Structure 1
């Protein structure tokens, strides 16, 4: 298998973390979807990363699709429960984390535009989404040691990646003092090699 992506994409990082937690070997090919010579559209018509190329050449895209596939490749270290209410809860956490990331990425990209061309209303709206989602996550987590209660799952991976992206791109969002439960989870995650070895960087 081959994973196509970048070191900066949080969605790629989520897949890399899952690969590491599942102990699945995959070649990592660095490719940016933003350059004119990008080959990403050859594998994903949407021009987005990550893309996972299977051994038979079949491309999988969208991180949610990829991580679900990977969790079923091997039975070890299951990150998602069987289809039931608990599985829905894991997917709900993942949707929250991915939604936070989408808002954060949109904010970051808008902020890269020349100052006079930036849409302040768009940035404010996306930052409100980030804040609301952090509030909601913290409330849902409560005093639980993990998102799903007592056991580690894909929900924690998705949330940890989202929090890591805020650290990477938004140093001004000081989420730890306001959300000690989320800070506690992130600290535990960073003790896992799957997280410490995949820190985003330019």
Structure 2
């Protein structure tokens, strides 16, 4: 199994955490979608990371889809609860965390523009989304049901807790 991505992508991080916690062996291929020489588009038509190559006939892309695929492997720990309604609640928090990261990436991309071309109003709009999103995540964490609880959930993989801070795959 190969994970295509770059070290700074929060979406690649989500999948890395899942693979590491599940003890799934994988090879990491560091590819940035932002460079002209990038081969990311060879793995996914969208040219975005992450992409997960299972074998020569099977490639998955988009972190939420890859996460769903990994959950279908039924390897512990489960990142989603069994109850479908509870799964939706965790997926909603995952979407919130993804949206916060998307807004952060938009700010970074805006700051990479020539200063005369940057849109302060767009950056402020994205910062406001981040603030509201973090407030909502903080409220969910205070509840302790799907964030900050005894078990890691898919909603926590972008902002993993220290106890899940492994940086290398577990020894087999």
1:73 counterpart SS class = coil
Greater share of helix: 1
Deviation for aligned residue 1:149: 4.7
**Residue 133 in 1 paired to residue 121 in 2?**
no
On the 8 A contact 1:22/1:74 being kept in 2, the answer is no
Tell me, yes or no, if structure 1 residue 76 matches structure 2 residue 76. yes
Residue matched to 1:14: 14
SS in 2 for 1:94: helix
Q: Please show how residues 113-192 of structure 1 align to structure 2 within 5 Å.
A: 113-144=113-144, 147=147, 149-158=149-158, 160=159, 189-192=161-164
Query: What is the aligned length?
Result: 168
Deviation at 1:152, TM superposition (A): 2.5
Q: Which moved more, 1:132-141 or 1:14-23?
A: 132-141
The aligned runs of 1:45-56 (5 Å cut-off) are 45-56=45-56
Separation (CA, whole Å) in 1 of partners of 2:146 and 2:124: 30
Cα distance between partner residues in 2 of 1:74 and 1:24: 11
Deviates more, 1:51-60 or 1:13-22: 51-60
Deviation per CA, 1:74-120: give whole Å up to 9, x if none.
43211112351110111011000000000010011101212111111
Q: Is this contact kept in 2: 1:148–1:155, CA < 8 A?
A: no
Once residues 44 and 89 of structure 1 are traced to their aligned partners in structure 2, the CA distance between those partners, rounded to angstroms, is 29
Q: Please, what TM-score do these two structures have when normalized by structure 1?
A: 0.77
* Cα distance between partner residues in 2 of 1:88 and 1:40: 30
Does residue 62 of structure 1 match 2:62? Answer: yes
Answer yes or no: is the 8 Å Cα contact 1:6–1:31 preserved in 2: yes
SS of equivalent to 2:20 = helix
Asked if structure 2 preserves the Cα contact closer than 8 Å seen for 1:41 and 1:47, the reply is yes
Match of 1:43 in 2: 43
Q: In the aligned structure 2, how far is the partner of 1:40 from the partner of 1:21?
A: 25
Give the match's secondary structure for 1:142.
Answer: helix
Unaligned runs of 5+ in 1: 162-188
Aligned partners of 2:119, 2:45: CA distance in 1, in Å?
28
In structure 1, C-alpha distance between the alignment counterparts of 2:125 and 2:99, rounded to whole Å: 13
Which has the higher mean CA deviation after the structures are superposed, 144-153 or 13-22?
Answer: 144-153
CA 1:23–1:103: 2 relative to 1, 3 Å: same
| Residue in 1 that maps onto 2:94 | 94
TM (norm. structure 2) is: 0.89
Aligned to 2:85: 85
